[in-house]
Structure 1
Amino acid sequence: MKALDFWFEFASTYSYLTAMRIEAAARRAGVEVRWKPFLLGPVFAGQGLSTSPFNIYPLKGGNMLRDVERIAAAMGLGFRTPDPFPQNGLTAARIALIGCDEDWGADFTRAVYLAEFDQGRQISDKAVLSDILHSLGQDPEAVLQRSESPENKARLKAQTETAMQLNMFGAPTFMTEDGELFWGNDRLEQALYWARHHTLEGFFEQDAG
């Protein structure tokens, strides 16, 4: 089966929307999804930014929030602006890295996004993450301990460095097996189509039909 890498950041509003729909879309397309948590902080720092571009440009940020609110409502999802924005998703990403190696990474990721953007909880709070892990049948204390190991911390750092080497500049980002990069929730379907066909030829005709 063809595969698509889904690079996501827990602070990313559009990654929230993608995480909640990518598996159904991938099933329809006949593509396997590989979940890849990473950190945008180092990516932004490499661009000379100290925070999210949505904070630097208030008009853009305001429009983004309304855009996500509209899309979330159409998807039947709640949305509230995190306070602060962006939230610190470091520990969540370290946990997700473990979960994505096992069979609960996608469920954990969706639960974290719902806690953050639907329920308004602080995802940097280990109590919140422990609640999510417990709901998934995991041992919170054991998983948190594993997530804080030097080896796991190094893995997340390396994965973020890989994202930068692949010229990623935001999230969500999709990478096909032949190295095509697609950015943004609104490019998911194109990324899946390319993963299957290695071209977008025929994509828009299919969409129009």
Structure 2
Amino acid sequence: MKLEFWFEFASTYSYLTAMRLPDEAAKRGIEVTWRPFLLGPIFAAQGLETTPFLVYPMKGRYLLRDMDRRARALGLEFYLPDTFPQNGLLAARVATAALPDPAGMRFCQNVYQAEFAHGQTIADPDVVARCAKDAGLDAEILDRAQTDPVKQALRATTEEALSRGIFGAPSFTVGDELFWGDDRLEDAFDWAAKHG
């Protein structure tokens, strides 16, 4: 059984998952499908206008401390950008166009590092283009990402996430089984191994 990794570029915890997922999946011999989607429509369906980390200030303060702890434990840098959450629409479209190619996964990791290790603005096309180039994607990927088929594919993935009960990122699905949060990655892997 495959494990699906549902992620949003504005999600801090998705950053932690994206950076360790390829190696962990390879160690366990589990095939992973990367599924970029948008949290905005998911939050809107829950009656939220923005991330719960801004709606509930205590939760936001916890996020900063927890991310710092978890990133350090994984050997990652963490910096919350001045604008949070960031607009990851362009990056999500590029990821949709580039995946499942390994360069698409490298692109996703590059975007997360630009955003959460270096505090860059991922809505900036120049930042996204640099992430794509550094991942080995061709120069036309940003143009392809703006085509109607790619836009529709991202919209469909977001609608699928909502229909499958996904309410946050990162999430993992193994068949109909849902796991939410970076700290549930191992549980998702275990489930995939036992029920695959």
Q: Deviations over 1:60-91 (max 9, x none)?
A: 11101110111101111111111211000000
Which amino acid in structure 2 is aligned with residue 150 of structure 1? Answer: D
The answer (yes or no) to whether the contact 1:173–1:184 under 8 Å persists in 2 is yes
Hey, what's the Cα distance between the residues in 1 that align with 2:22 and 2:136? 21
- Counterpart-to-counterpart distance in 2, 1:103 and 1:37: 14
Whether the 8 Å CA contact 1:146–1:152 is kept in 2: the answer is: yes
CA distance in 1 between partners of 2:29 and 2:101 (Å): 21
In structure 2, the partner of 1:169 is 167
Asked which structure has the greater CA Rg, the reply is: 1
| Equivalences for residues 67-86 of structure 1 within 5 A | 67-86=66-85
Q: Deviations over 1:22-65 (max 9, x none)?
A: 12221222211110000000000000000000000000111011
1:195 maps to 192
SS at match of 1:24: helix
Q: Which amino acid aligns with 1:183?
A: W
Q: Helix, strand or coil for the counterpart of 1:21?
A: helix
SS of 1:18's equivalent in the other structure is: helix
Q: Contact 2:34–2:100 at 8 Å: present in 1 too?
A: no
Equivalent of residue 183 in structure 1, options 174, 180, 183: 180
State the match for 2:47 in structure 1: 48
| Code of the aligned partner of 2:161 | A
Residue aligned with 2:50, SS: coil
**Moved runs in structure 1, 4+ residues, more than 2 A?**
136-140
Q: 2:114, 2:120 within 8 Å by CA — same for their partners in 1? A: yes
| 5+ long unaligned stretches in structure 1 | 200-209
Residue 13 of structure 1 corresponds to which residue in structure 2?
12
**Equivalent pair of 2:110/2:135 in contact (CA under 8 Å):** no
Distance 1:17 1:160 in 2: 21
**Is structure 2 residue 61 aligned with structure 1 residue 59?**
no
Q: How many aligned residue pairs are there? A: 196
8 Å Cα contact 2:104-2:135 kept in structure 1: no
Cα shift at 1:102: 2.7
One-letter amino acid matched to 2:149: E
Instruction: Normalising by structure 1, report the TM-score.
Output: 0.91
